[in-house]
Structures are given as structure tokens and as C-alpha cells.
Chains A and B, each alone.
Chain A
């Protein structure tokens, strides 16, 4: 079983909807990530939080809004998405700066379809 939990597993939303993706980890990791993955492509980094502060935003459109309420939780708020935003959204966590040589630990992902 994965130690990073993502909900929901599947999400279908219209272009005018507002929804949120949730991620939780209890490994004591202080870096948390959102990745977007299209079919047969590598994961693309969206956001990185380090010690609950946004440290990297890879020029992601404002219709994606991340939030890190505490060291265990990470949310991704979605609003006015486009069909091309349909993808697998992966949450991951690690020790900060790769400390302890920590790899990324991924959740099972949320399969998002925008209609």
C-alpha cells in the first residue's frame, strides 16, 4: 500500500466546475509535490512545497491553485479547467532537498477528465 494517499481516484468535471484534489502523507516528509502526467509521457512538475511554503511554481496556469494547510496535507484547487487539462495528477512527498537521499514517494494519483 502507498504511504501517500490521494483522493478522489477519479474525477470528471465540467469546465465551469470548482473541485479540489487532496493528498495526505504521514512519513514526516517536509517537501510535497504536484505532478501532471499525460498518457505515455513522463510526469511534469507543477508545484513544490517545502516546509509548507510554496517553493517552486512551474509557470502553471492560475486555474490550478495549490494549498498546503499543514505538513501532512496538500490540496490542488481546480477552477475553470480546459479539456486539455485532463490527465493523471500525482502527489508526491520526500525529505527536503533530497536529505537522506530520499526518493519521491508517489500517491496513486487522481485521474481527471474535463468535459
Chain B
């Protein structure tokens, strides 16, 4: 079974600071996804990373993928309160199974 781990599990950061969330997975996968979930809400797709070296950016969030290291990062630049949420990474195998990471609960403090 493909295992996906994220760290940190909890992240409290001040507004304006930068930080990185890490996502490691156990077996080969060439597709990685990042999702955001607000409290009590559903999951929203943020990024789809398709190949080694892929980098995607949207606003203050930037995601990258290193398939050789089986590692993806989600970098937060100059955090603002609106980014407070739980972030999940997910990878797929050759079927339709999406394996989710443990999640990172981000709180941005004014």
C-alpha cells in the first residue's frame, strides 16, 4: 500500500512569515495533488503536479515535485490569515486510488 506522510502535522505561524510543508510518499507515483480544507468544509483542489521538477504557483502558495526523492513541498510566502486551513497532499497509483497524506493544520496568527 502506498503511504503518504506530511510534516509538520500542525503549524502555527505569524502573518508575513514564510514556511514549507513537506509531503513524502513511499512508492513510485508521477502525479501528486494538493488540497485545502477549511474547518467543517469539503476539500478544494489547489495543485496538480505531473512530472519531476514540476512547479506550480498560485498567489502565496507554491508547490513542487521531486519524483526521485518522492517528495513534494508546499511553500507559503508571506502568510496571511486567510491561508489558515488544513492542507493535504495525495498521490495516485495506476488505478483510481488516491492516497491522502496525514494533513497539515495551518494557523496563521496576526
In Å, the complex CA distance between A33 and B80 comes to 33
Q: Which residue of A lies closest to B50 (CB)?
A: A101
Contact B97 A45 (CB under 8 A): yes
- A:2-59 near B, CB below 8 Å: 2, 31, 33, 40-43, 45, 48, 50, 55-56
Q: Besides the contacts A33-B96, A33-B98, A97-B96, what 18 more A-B pairs have beta carbons closer than 8 Å?
A: A2-B42, A40-B86, A41-B103, A43-B88, A43-B100, A48-B97, A50-B96, A56-B97, A90-B43, A94-B96, A96-B96, A101-B48, A103-B48, A104-B45, A105-B45, A106-B43, A108-B42, A109-B41
Contact B103 A98 (CB under 8 A): no
Given A55-B95, A56-B95, also A101-B100 (CB < 8 A): no
In Å, the complex CA distance between A104 and B92 comes to 11
Cβ of A107 within 8 Å of any chain B Cβ, yes or no, is: yes
Q: Which of B33, B50, B101, B105 has a CB less than 8 Å from the CB of A104?
A: B33
Chain B interface (Cβ within 8 Å of chain A)?
Answer: 31, 33, 35, 41-45, 48, 50, 86, 88, 90, 92, 94-98, 100-103, 105
Interface SS of A by simple majority = mixed
In Å, the complex CA distance between A63 and B40 comes to 25
Closest chain A CB from B34 CB (angstroms)? 9
Chain A interface (Cβ within 8 Å of chain B)?
Answer: 2, 31, 33, 40-43, 45, 48, 50, 55-56, 90, 94, 96-98, 101, 103-109
Q: Which residue of A lies closest to B41 (CB)?
A: A108
Given A97-B95, A98-B96, A106-B43, also A40-B31 (CB < 8 A): no
Q: Which residue of B lies closest to A32 (CB)?
A: B96
Contact A42 B41 (CB under 8 A): no
Contact A103 B97 (CB under 8 A): no
Closest chain B CB from A57 CB (angstroms)? 12
Contact A40 B94 (CB under 8 A): no
* Residue from B41, B94, B95, B105 having most chain A Cβ neighbours under 10 A: B95
Q: Which of B44, B88, B94, B103 has a CB less than 8 Å from the CB of A97?
A: B94
With a cutoff of 8 Å between Cβ atoms, the chain A residues found around residue B33 in the complex are: 103-104
